[in-house]
Amino acid sequence: MIIRAAESVRHLPAPPYAFGIGAFTFFSLLLYITLRFDRD
């Protein structure tokens, strides 16, 4: 019972869609950098 109560008060620092947007931006940047270095 105490474990369930402790789990219910945990909150994410941002809404879930913000993590999705952040991950998409991060991987897009990695892909851009990879393709730029591949051209050389």
Instruction: Tell me the chain's radius of gyration from C-alpha atoms.
Output: 18
The reply to whether 26 falls in a domain is yes
CA distance 35 to 29: 10
The reply to whether 2 falls in a domain is no
Query: Which residue segment(s) compose the domain that 28 sits in?
Result: 14-40
The reply to whether 8 falls in a domain is no
User: CA 7, 13, 15, 16 torsion: positive or negative?
Assistant: negative
- The three-class DSSP label of residue 12 is coil
What pLDDT score does 38 carry? 77
What is the value of pTM for the model shown? 0.61
Average pLDDT value for residue range 8-33: 91
CA distance 37 to 18: 29
pLDDT grade for 14, boundaries at 50, 70 and 90? confident
Count of domains for the chain:
1
What pLDDT score does 10 carry? 74
The reply to whether 7 falls in a domain is no
Judged against a pLDDT cut of 70, whether residue 19 lies above it is answered with yes
The reply to whether 19 falls in a domain is yes
The reply to whether 29 falls in a domain is yes
Q: Which residue has the higher pLDDT, 11 or 31?
A: 31
